[in-house]
Amino acid sequence: MPRTTTAVRVLASVGLLAACTYPAAATSASSSNRVIPAARATTPRSALPHATAAPAPSPPSARTPDPGSLSQTTARPGGSDPQFAQRMRTLWAAVVAGDTAAGSSFFPLGAYLQVKAISNPAADYRNRLITLYGLDIRALHLRVGSGAKLLGVDVPDRSATWVAPGQEYNKGSYWRVYGTRVRYRTVSGKEGSFGIFSLISWRGQWYVVHLGPINRTPGTGAITR
């Protein structure tokens, strides 16, 4: 075969190959310009916060019940009890401040209502016991003064007596003790003491019921010597 014819065939073959491959290249180019939706961003399952139940509402803070709302016990009280010591600090704070309001150191009204067999124990409590207590606090404040320091309270626990129903106009019972002494030091450095005429118990705890002596000039404060 002549060489010219062979060359023409080779060129024709090359052109045919080029024609066959070009559309593929064009397809590839058109594909590269196509907008492909981006894959939706997802958070790995392990990174998602775990669903938890809503926290339960906090229960209301428990309140210490009024001891006077509870029934009496035969438990014997003691002057070294921490609760009694706290009540004596409350009493002392009232003395140095001249605060005549009856605080937690005084025998509870509810307990008095359970104990006394008189016609109107609530009126007796307010009009006699609380009034005398306020007068006695005022008298002690004038003697001790502001800024005095409490040194200690001595309770003769061994002398305590169980008071049964029928005594002292009672329908209930309690322990009673006389002769408690409160020791203190004034701002000038002078030490002294005064008495608590009577402590009585409720549920194994001592409370003041008569700060000053019972026998006194009516309407005046008095200090137990």
- Evaluate whether residue 14 is within a structural domain: no
Q: Which of helix, strand or coil describes residue 76?
A: coil
What is the pLDDT at residue 78?
98
Report d(CA 221, CA 225) in Å as an integer: 13
Residues of the chain with pLDDT under 70: 1-62
Quote the DSSP letter at residue 148.
-
Q: Strands of 180-185's sheet, edge to edge?
A: 149-154, 180-185, 191-196
Q: What is the mean pLDDT of the chain?
A: 81
Overall number of domains in the chain: 1
Question: Which are the contacts of 201, defined by CB distance < 8 A and separation ≥ 6?
Answer: 75, 76, 77, 160, 174, 175, 176, 207
What is the pLDDT at residue 16?
36
What is the pLDDT at residue 60?
53
User: Which range of residues forms the domain containing residue 148?
Assistant: 69-210
- Evaluate whether residue 183 is within a structural domain: yes
What is the pLDDT at residue 46?
38
What is the pLDDT at residue 191?
98
- Evaluate whether residue 77 is within a structural domain: yes
What is the pLDDT at residue 35?
40
- Evaluate whether residue 99 is within a structural domain: yes
pTM for the whole thing? 0.72
Report d(CA 208, CA 92) in Å as an integer: 12
- Evaluate whether residue 82 is within a structural domain: yes
Report d(CA 184, CA 187) in Å as an integer: 10
Q: Give per-residue pLDDT as tens, 161-184.
A: 999 999 999 999 999 999 999 999
- Evaluate whether residue 60 is within a structural domain: no
- Evaluate whether residue 121 is within a structural domain: yes
What is the pLDDT at residue 59?
54
Residues in the chain: 225
- Evaluate whether residue 160 is within a structural domain: yes
Quote the DSSP letter at residue 159.
G
Q: Give per-residue pLDDT as tens, 107-136.
A: 999 999 999 999 999 999 999 999 999 999
- Contact between 201 and 68 under an 8 Å Cβ cutoff? The reply is no
CA angle 42, 48, 50 (to 5 degrees): 155
